[in-house]
Amino acid sequence: MTLSMLELEGAAGGSRFPLAQVLDALPWNSDGLIAAIAQQHRSGEVLMLAWMNRQALDETLASGRVCYWSRSRQRLWRKGESSGHRQRLIEAHLDCDGDAVLLIVDQQGPACHTGRPTCFYNAIEEDQVHILTAPLKEPAA
């Protein structure tokens, strides 16, 4: 049996579908990826946007530890593998057309590679960008 995301769009609240069939139906992009948003549980802070291929999503769901696909390194990227700043998966929700997944996580340490708590520290304020937080190491004075 083949599912389509359109069937899920019309599905009644409370209905359930087999996960494997839904994953087969996702519209992975030309690089085989979907977008993944990580959000801190409880606080609701949006931490980062990254990408997942099928293997990364499968591993994340199986292990409970978030694994992305690194587009720059072209390999699986187990978040925190070098920094120790891991993400424990709490919930995962696919969007209506299946090209994005929202990961509710418990982030250990800062989420951003700059050492900031979240990657979204560049606030647009009128005609300026305001850097809200300091990197882990301030530039030398």
Q: Is 138 in the site for a second copy (CB under 8 A)?
A: yes
Helix (H) or strand (E) holding 100: strand 100-107
Of 1 and 124, nearer to a second copy (C-beta) is 124
Please, which residues have CB within 8 angstroms of residue 48's CB and are 6 or more apart in sequence? 37, 38, 111, 112, 118, 119, 120
Span 67-126, contacts to a second copy by CB under 8 A: 91-100, 102, 112-114, 116, 119-124, 126
Of 75 and 130, nearer to a second copy (C-beta) is 130
Taking the complex as a whole, the smallest distance from the CB of residue 68 to a second copy amounts, in Å, to 13
How wide is the angle at C-alpha 64 spanned by C-alphas 86 and 100, nearest 5°?
A: 85
Helix (H) or strand (E) holding 104: strand 100-107
Residues that bind a second copy (CB under 8 A): 8-20, 22, 35, 37, 39, 43-46, 48-49, 61, 91-100, 102, 112-114, 116, 119-124, 126-135, 138-139
